[in-house]
Amino acid sequence: MMEKPPAIDKKALLNAVVMGVDAKIVPLVDKINSKYEYWDKVKYASLPEGYTPQKLWMFVKASRIRGMISVWDKYGINLCITNQMQRICHDFDMKFGSFWEADNDSQSSEKKYYLSSSLMEEAIYSSKMEGASTTRIVAKEMLRKKKSPQNKAQQMIVNNYTTIQYIVEHKDEPLTVEGLLYIHKLMTDKTLDNPEDAGCFRTNDNVVVANMVEGDIIHTPPAFEEIPEFVSTLCDFFNNDNPHTFIHPIIKGIIIHFMVAYMHPFVDGNGRTARALFYWYMLKENYKLTEYMSISRVIAKSKIGYEKSFCYTENDDNDMGYFVAYNLRALEISFQQLRDYIQRKQRKKKAASAFMKVGNINQRQALVLQRLSEEPDIIFTVKDLQNQFSISSMTARKDLSDLVLQGYMEEIAINKVTRGYIKKQEEEYHLEPALKEEFPRHLQRRKEIQMP
């Protein structure tokens, strides 16, 4: 069980709130609040003479109370918005607005490719967090080629992907009761023990949130009779700004995520639905870059921290600063991963541009040849190019046929209907001598392909 913070004398705490933090430990308190650390970290801090961990904790709590706002009165959910939280939000405002504009070369097919890939990543990892077990390679292959899911795990990923696409298309619409139920129905289709639970609120209290590792109950949601009032509050919070208290949209999106997780209005699929609503709210508020970021991938890889942020909130007077701080860090990491990913793709694009020097090669074909130089055994289909570059089947077929005519690829039969395109079985492409140094000197012969 998670250790709870020590009890604090109310009179001493009130005095600390009124008088402020002792000047001797202001830097230490600021450092603790920059990461919004819980008691399990605070108690091990190095202290100046005359201080105990309990006294330090009292000053930490006092500093948070001074900046506390109420975000959900009915359940006493409060939040202290720290300087660090505001700094991260400001950084995102700057980055989200200028990221693509700084690279005018990424506005067309490449941008669509990044979008398609990131949507797949978000669908895969959001589903993995709820128990879907499959590899990224298999999942992406299924999504790209629109194959039918073969099991529950794959169905969860397809549902997640479909839901995200729906949200992108309807991002400017207000949240309604019907809209929330429809999101849940899309997200849980054919994955619940009772199919009738998809798109319906729970009608009993046989739902708890347990620690995934130890199985301890960490949260018991409010009674199901309170769900109608909750949904009304959620929709109002989602659709309208509070005229008295401004909350930054990114933090507000995180609060929406938390509200759904706290209430657990569905029998199953609450986490996926909560993350989908965060995604929706970010797009609604014009944070377009959210489409290109897989936040669930970061959360899935630090799931213990994600779960702890809920527990810390529950154990510390419903202070959801822990949950906000965790999610802001996840956003920072996700943005950095996106930037690194795009930089890698741009390096590959630069390398692929060497193929274009040969002549009669367009940018799409150059990227195909670049991929072949890295993965000699890969098989391309017309559908692959359609999905990757958002082009028509006619254009994709012409790109591949031209590469066959120019001697770079050859066509094979995958089955009676589908044709595949593979690297021509030669030691090297017939490139001009000046260009050969741009590519591996000795491309291995293509291994024999096992046809289904």
Tell which residue, 394, 420, 421, has the closest CA to residue 406.
421
**pLDDT tens figures, 253-287:** 999 999 999 999 999 999 989 999 999 999 999 88
**pLDDT tens figures, 18-43:** 998 888 899 999 999 999 999 999 99
CATH number assigned to the domain covering 359-436: 1.10.10.10
pLDDT at 96 (0 to 100): 65
Name the residue ranges covered by the structural domains of the chain.
10-66, 72-341, 359-436
**Contact (CB, 8 A) for 400 and 380:** yes
Q: In the chain, what are the helix, strand and coil shares in percent, each to the nearest 5? A: 60, 5, 35
* 255 backbone φψ class: left, alpha, beta (φ>0; ψ -120 to 50): alpha
Q: How far is 296 from 310, CA to CA, in rounded Å? A: 16
**Contact (CB, 8 A) for 67 and 308:** no
Q: Which CATH class is domain 72-341?
A: mainly alpha
pLDDT at 114 (0 to 100): 62
Place of tokens 């500093």: 63
* 80 backbone φψ class: left, alpha, beta (φ>0; ψ -120 to 50): beta
Terminal CA-CA length for the chain? 51
Q: How far is 259 from 263, CA to CA, in rounded Å? A: 6
pLDDT at 126 (0 to 100): 72
353 pLDDT higher than 90: no
Task: Show the tokens assigned to 290.
Answer: 């959210």
Q: Work out the percent of the chain whose per-residue pLDDT is above 70.
A: 84
What is the average pLDDT score of the chain? 84
Candidate from 80-84, 142-146, 349-353, 368-372 with smallest mean pLDDT: 349-353
**133 against 224, higher pLDDT:** 224
Sign of the C-alpha dihedral, residues 383, 386, 387, 388?
positive
Q: How far is 277 from 375, CA to CA, in rounded Å? A: 38
100 pLDDT higher than 70: no
At 447, the pLDDT band (50, 70, 90 cuts) reads very low
pTM recorded for the entire structure: 0.77
**Contact (CB, 8 A) for 253 and 323:** no
